[in-house]
Amino acid sequence: MIVTNVRKKSLVKQGVRYTLMKGRGEFDLIHFITPATVLINGTNVTTEENAFVIFGPHSPHAIDCNVGDLYFERLTFNGDAVNHLLEVYGLATDHLYYPSDACIREIYRLFDCIDDEFFRPRKFAGNAVRIYAEQIFLSLCRDVNRESPEYGDKIVNTFCDIRKSIYSQPNKDWSVDDLAKAAKLNKARFFELYKKLFGISPIQDIISLRVRIAKTLLGTHKYTVAEVAKMTGYQNVFHFIRQFKKHTNITPKQFEKQN
Percent with pLDDT over 70 in the chain: 97
Domain ranges across the chain: 2-144, 152-259
The answer to which of 40-49, 75-84, 149-158, 172-181 has the lowest mean pLDDT is 149-158
The structure's pTM equals 0.58
* Class in CATH terms, 152-259: mainly alpha
Task: Give yes or no on whether 2-144 and 152-259 have one common fold.
Answer: no
pLDDT, residue 150, reads: 54
| Options 1.10.3720.10, 2.60.120.280, 3.40.47.10, 3.55.50.30; CATH of 2-144 | 2.60.120.280
Residue 146 predicted with pLDDT over 80: no
Q: Which residues of 160-172 are buried (b: 16+ CB within 10 A; e: fewer)?
A: eebbeebeeebee
Q: How do 70-78 and 2-12 pair as beta strands?
A: antiparallel
Residue 174 predicted with pLDDT over 70: yes
